[in-house]
Amino acid sequence: MKQLVYLFLITVLFSCGNKNNDTQNKNQVIPKLSNAVEHTRLENVKHKFEKEIENWQDLKTATSFIKKFEKVSPNEAMSNALELRDLVASLKDNEIPKTFNIPSLHARINVLHNETLRLADLTLIPAITSEEVNAQINKTIAAFSSLNSKINTILSKKNFEDAIDVDINFVGIDSTKMDSVSIKTINSRKREELLNKNKKNK
């Protein structure tokens, strides 16, 4: 009889020990998903170019929203992932200002959209880890930074070309090595010069 009592006590103690271990493991996982983490800082469009994008509302809205992800917990990121995906989808599908409507910029928007889709997909994985969520947040912010960097490059080039005041007919340029922004600028200047000459002749 005593042996049965001892066996029962040992079983109960062992069972309680396992429950305590399970509780400790859960308590270790939950804080990781709830702890806010500093992520990659977003590269912004330069302040001097803000006027050039002031009417691009989709970009401004998506930029404002993604800044929330610079310091965020995995749980918070997951709760905002679907909205971020939808904002970037609007940026991708809606009209893009003429200055930025070039293939290289569209490519960066597509990459950003794909990263937001991956982030949103993580919300469907029950056993997702904080490390996996944090890594995808960094990839998403990096893709947005790449988009902003391209915008800065386009506007810097545009400003440089606008500042050049030379007769382009006397400049030797290999048109096959120019991007669409440069070609558009030169063609626009040629049209202006032609119109001015016609006005003078009249």
- Residue 72: beta bridge partners? 37
Q: Are 97 and 59 in contact (CB under 8 A)?
A: no
**What would the pLDDT profile of 167-198 be if each residue is shown by its tens digit?**
555 455 555 555 555 656 666 766 777 776 66
Instruction: For residue 45, count CB atoms less than 10 angstroms from its CB and return exposed for 0-12, middle for 13-18, buried for 19 or more.
Output: buried
Residue 37 phi/psi, 5° resolution?
A: -125, 140
Q: Pick the most confident of 19-23, 84-88, 175-179.
A: 84-88
- Alpha-carbon distance of 85 to 10, in angstroms, equals 53
pTM of structure: 0.68
Instruction: State mean pLDDT over 10-23.
Output: 53
Residues in Cβ contact with 83 at an 8 Å cutoff, skipping those fewer than 6 apart: 65
Distance CA 69, CA 139 (A): 11
| Token code pair at residue 129 | 């880890």
